[in-house]
Amino acid sequence: MLNTNYNVIGMMSGTSLDGVDLAHIKFSINNGKWSYEIKESETIPYTENWINQLKNGIHLDLDSLKVLDKSYTELIAEITNHFILKNKLQDVDFICSHGHTILHQPQNGITLQIGNLPELAQKTKHKVICDFRVQDVAMGGQGAPLVPIGDQLLFSEYDFCLNLGGFSNISFNRQSKRIAFDISPVNTVLNFYAEKLGRNFDQGGSIAKSGELNKSLYDELNNLPFYSQKFPKSLGIEFVHTTILPIMEKHILSIPDLLHTFTEHIAYQIGTIVKGVKGSMLITGGGAYNTFLIERIKQHCTSIRCDIPDEKTIEFKEALIFGLLGVLRERKEINTLASVTGAKQDHCSGKIFLPN
């Protein structure tokens, strides 16, 4: 008989490099309906040294990647142990870890999330469920996005679920199937330019708001082939480095103008997805705090009611859903949707490591 209650830790590190998100979550299922409560939660920021290592991971050779993988696993084990001790957590069923994406080239059959080694279970002395993307890529899928199963099971009252993190991604139901895909870069680009001004990010989008739209750059971004591709489709940091930044850099503009134009680009691309549809949209992720970006999204989504939830859901929704992915893996239930990733079938993904 399957359990109906689970006490887990969900862990996530995104491409925006804010840090490691940890959430202590209690899940329960009653008559097929899932509910959750996010208890203690925290984002542990990366040191400057770790930010640089993770940014440069894409350029490492295989041996250097293995070294990085091991040291990153040790880092998140230490972070998790501190979180458990600090919050006096007891009877944790398991830890559900996404790890940190270093390589994501599904078209080449490659995706790598570091931090998903068996040592994580040994060092935390807890069962660990992790590495959710690799199996999907092996089955011909994009390995992303994985969050939509959580949108479907936990936030079904919304017509659309939009996440604004390193990249924007959206999920919704169409003809009884969950559809989801990445839309465009967000904080991977916005933070890149904010950092040139000595800031970690553009607070509230104030710098972007002070700039002006450059029509030439705006049109060039909107005409990129990725935006006309059919879903399923996903983006990795490679797209930012090889495609977006070279386009941005060839336009000799002030940083406020670059930020303003890219913010408008983000909002426009979101608007194209929901055009002509009436309904509601849940907005989460760090970008939900960017008031200028939200203002522009609302201008491009006039028939959609945009809802921004409580702070814990904004900041820890992905950690929450990776917790759910772990629970579904434990129950041997589907946690990855072929309609979303393009894999040959729905499947139950994730590795399980037990402490000695």
Instruction: For residue 343, tell me if it sits in a domain.
Output: no
- The domain boundary, picked from 141, 161, 196, lies at 141
Same domain, 100 and 190: no
Residues 39 and 158 in one domain: no
Residue 118 has pLDDT above 80, yes or no: yes
pLDDT confidence band for 4 (50 / 70 / 90): very high
C-alpha span between 155 and 178 (Å, rounded) = 12
Same structural domain, 285 and 202: yes
pLDDT in tens, 328-347: 999 999 999 999 999 999 99
Q: Same structural domain for residues 160 and 308?
A: yes
Amino acid at 228: S
Highest mean pLDDT among 54-58, 99-103, 321-325: 321-325
Q: Which of 141, 161, 186 is the last residue of a domain?
A: 141
Choosing from 115, 141, 167, the residue where a domain stops is 141
| Same-domain status, 72 and 172 | no
In the predicted structure, residue 260 carries a pLDDT above the cut 80: yes
Pair 127, 239 in one domain: no
Number of domains in the chain: 2
Phi, psi of 350 (to 5 degrees): 130, 140
Q: What percent of the chain has pLDDT over 70?
A: 100
* Same domain as 255, residue 112: no
Residue 227 counted as domain residue: yes
Here the CATH number for the domain that contains residue 163 is: 3.30.420.40
Q: Residue 332's pLDDT is what?
A: 97
The answer to whether residue 16 scores a pLDDT higher than 80 is no
Strand partners, 41: 23
Question: Mean per-residue pLDDT for 161-167?
Answer: 94
- One domain, residues 137 and 164: no
Whole-angstrom distance, CA of residue 189 vs CA of residue 248: 10
Average pLDDT on 264-273 reads 98
Tell me whether residue 102 is exposed, middle or buried, using C-beta atoms within 10 angstroms of its C-beta: 0 to 12, 13 to 18, 19 or more.
buried
The answer to whether residue 101 sits within a structural domain is yes
Full residue range of the structural domain in which residue 221 is found: 148-312
Tokens 């900041």 belong to residue:
315
Q: Is residue 114 part of a domain?
A: yes
Same domain, yes or no, for 38 and 184?
Answer: no
As a whole number of angstroms, the distance between CA 298 and CA 284 comes to 14
Q: Residue 326 domain-assigned? A: no
Residue 325 lies in a domain: no
Residue 174 lies in a domain: yes
Write the CA distances from 304 to 178, 270, 273, 280, integer angstroms.
Answer: 19, 11, 11, 5
Other beta carbons within 10 angstroms of residue 335's beta carbon come to 26
Same domain, 34 and 129: yes
Query: 131, 114, 151: which is closest to 280 by C-alpha?
Result: 151
Query: Domain check: are 177 and 306 in the same one?
Result: yes
Does residue 166 lie within any of the structural domains? Answer: yes
Percent of the chain having pLDDT more than 90? 90
Query: For the chain, what is the HEC assignment?
Result: CCCCEEEEEEEEECCCCCCEEEEEEEEEEECCEEEEEEEEEEEECCCHHHHHHHHHHHHCCHHHHHHHHHHHHHHHHHHHHHHHHHCCCCCCCEEEEEEEEEEEEHHHCEEEEECCCCHHHHHHCCCEEECCCHHHHHCCCCCCCCCHHHHHHHCCCCCEEEEECCEEEEEEEECCEEEEEEEEECHHHHHHHHHHCCCCCCHHHHHHHHCCCCHHHHHHHHCCHHHHCCCCCCCCHHHHHHHHHHHHHHCCCCHHHHHHHHHHHHHHHHHHHHCCCCEEEEEECHHHHCHHHHHHHHHHCCCEEEECCCHHHHHHHHHHHHHHHHHHHHCCCCCECHHHHCCCCCECCCEEECCC
Query: Both 167 and 134 in a single domain?
Result: no
- Which pLDDT does position 104 carry in this prediction? 86
